[in-house]
């Protein structure tokens, strides 16, 4: 397969790129290299003859059209996005631009590719999205592919808009669009502003671990390698016009998850001077419009594409903690280069 992956220098995109190369595919990684990107995430495959990289903004439609025409992908896997909810609250503009205008630009570039007659017969546009488009659940129920869209943050509204564009390009222009909506990912190479790396790194540095509100919000966690596996299956065998939900069947309240990570750290770093990391937990001001609960019903992708998560949350979280312990240079470099922290992080009650 010739895969054009957007956002392949980010957290999930780089997992897709690494796995695609290991499976023998050709990959063109298109990434603007925003603050969230890191070339180190794909350093392990950068020397492969089957790997190419282009630093480009997906909003640049003429450049994207030319690139697609040259590379002639079998599939475009579109992951590039602004992704941090707190940043979208502090400054929505980049989210509207990349997530909506950028997706439009890419859909148009691929429409040109298909209309020019150069695309292969079974070409697919795989639009990668989030469960946050469905809004927030109460204590019971799960999101299915038929759940109504009720986005609550600028991030999720922009992603929901991009899903709608992808759908419309399929219905109106016959674009062969496959959409996937996934729950919260965790694992190696996650940028240190999201919950899991914030908890691990703050705990290692003896700093407060900020938990928003009461910590009773629920997320459904999936190991990033399992998401990459699901995405590569959907990209190859997903049916155009269909949506597939992807989730980990691993719901946890934030506070339970934070305590789980603290316990793993206690175990990994035990010694006479070690203190329980839980002592660092600090409840801080809540996120505005904070979605209470996400839970994904992933029956369809399990049934139709034969995918299931391979790693339990206990195994995956321990592997993740160990990765951050063994790869301090990766996150210390990011912090040394500096990045604006979303204003919400670190706010005390």
Active-site residue flag, 132: yes
Instruction: Please report whether residue 83 would count as binding ligand DAU according to CB under 6 A.
Output: yes
Q: Which is nearer to ligand DAU, 131 or 229 (CB)?
A: 131
Q: Which one of the listed residues 113, 155, 189, 294 is annotated catalytic?
A: 155
Instruction: Please report whether residue 74 would count as binding ligand DAU according to CB under 6 A.
Output: no
Instruction: Please report whether residue 52 would count as binding ligand NAD according to CB under 6 A.
Output: no
Active-site residue flag, 60: no
Active-site residue flag, 74: no
Name the binder of 13 from ligand NAD, ligand DAU, none, CB < 5-8 A by kind. ligand NAD
Choosing from 5, 12, 175, 264, the residue that interacts with ligand NAD (CB under 6 A) is 12
Kindly indicate which of the ranges 31-39, 72-80, 205-213, 262-270 contains the residues binding ligand DAU, using the contact rule CB under 6 A. Answer: 205-213
Name the binder of 123 from ligand DAU, ligand NAD, none, CB < 5-8 A by kind. none
Choosing from 57, 74, 145, 220, the residue that interacts with ligand NAD (CB under 6 A) is 57
Instruction: Please report whether residue 183 would count as binding ligand DAU according to CB under 6 A.
Output: yes
Q: Which is nearer to ligand DAU, 51 or 212 (CB)?
A: 212
Instruction: Please report whether residue 194 would count as binding ligand DAU according to CB under 6 A.
Output: yes
Residue with tokens 């450049």: 63
Distance CA 82, CA 34 (A): 9
Q: How far is the CB of 46 from ligand NAD (least distance, A)?
A: 15
Q: Which is nearer to ligand NAD, 106 or 264 (CB)?
A: 106
User: What are the catalytic residues?
Assistant: 131-132, 155
Binding residues vs ligand DAU (CB under 6 A): 83-85, 130-132, 183-184, 194-195, 198, 210-212, 217, 219, 254, 287, 294, 345
Binding residues vs ligand NAD (CB under 6 A): 6-7, 9-13, 31-34, 36-37, 57-59, 79-83, 98, 102, 128, 130, 159, 182, 184-185, 191
């Amino acid at each position: 397969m010739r895969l054009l992956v957007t956002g392949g220098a980010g957290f999930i995109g780089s997992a897709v790129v690494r796995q695609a190369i290991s499976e023998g595919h050709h990959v063109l990684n298109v990434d603007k290299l925003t603050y969230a990107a890191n070339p180190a995430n794909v350093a392990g495959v950068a020397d492969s003859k089957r790997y190419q990289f282009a630093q480009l903004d997906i909003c640049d439609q003429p450049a994207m059209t030319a690139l697609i025409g040259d590379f002639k992908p079998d599939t475009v896997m579109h992951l590039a996005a602004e992704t941090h909810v707190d940043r979208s609250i502090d400054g929505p503009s980049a989210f509207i631009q990349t997530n909506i205008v950028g997706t439009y630009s890419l859909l148009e570039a691929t429409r040109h590719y298909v209309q020019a007659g150069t695309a292969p017969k079974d070409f697919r546009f795989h639009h990668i999205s989030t469960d946050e488009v469905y809004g927030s659940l109460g204590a019971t129920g799960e999101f299915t592919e038929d759940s109504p869209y009720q986005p609550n943050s600028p991030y999720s509204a922009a992603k929901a808009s991009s899903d709608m564009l992808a759908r419309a390009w399929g219905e109106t222009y016959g674009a062969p669009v496959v959409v996937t909506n996934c729950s919260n990912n965790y694992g190696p190479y996650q940028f240190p502003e999201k919950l899991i790396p914030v908890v691990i790194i703050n705990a290692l540095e003896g700093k407060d671990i900020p938990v928003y509100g009461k910590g009773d919000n629920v997320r459904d966690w999936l190991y990033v390698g399992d998401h990459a596996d699901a995405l590569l299956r959907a990209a190859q065998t997903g049916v155009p016009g269909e949506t597939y939900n992807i989730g980990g069947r691993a719901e946890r309240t934030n506070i339970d998850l934070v305590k789980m990570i603290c316990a793993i750290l206690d175990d990994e770093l035990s010694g006479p001077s070690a203190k329980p990391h839980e002592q660092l937990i600090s409840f801080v001001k809540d996120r505005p419009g904070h979605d209470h609960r996400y839970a994904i019903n992933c029956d369809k992708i399990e049934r139709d594409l034969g995918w299931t998560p391979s790693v339990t949350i206990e195994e995956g979280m321990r592997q993740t903690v160990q990765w951050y312990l063994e790869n301090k240079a990766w996150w210390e470099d990011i912090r040394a280069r500096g990045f604006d922290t979303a204003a919400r992080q670190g706010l005390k009650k």
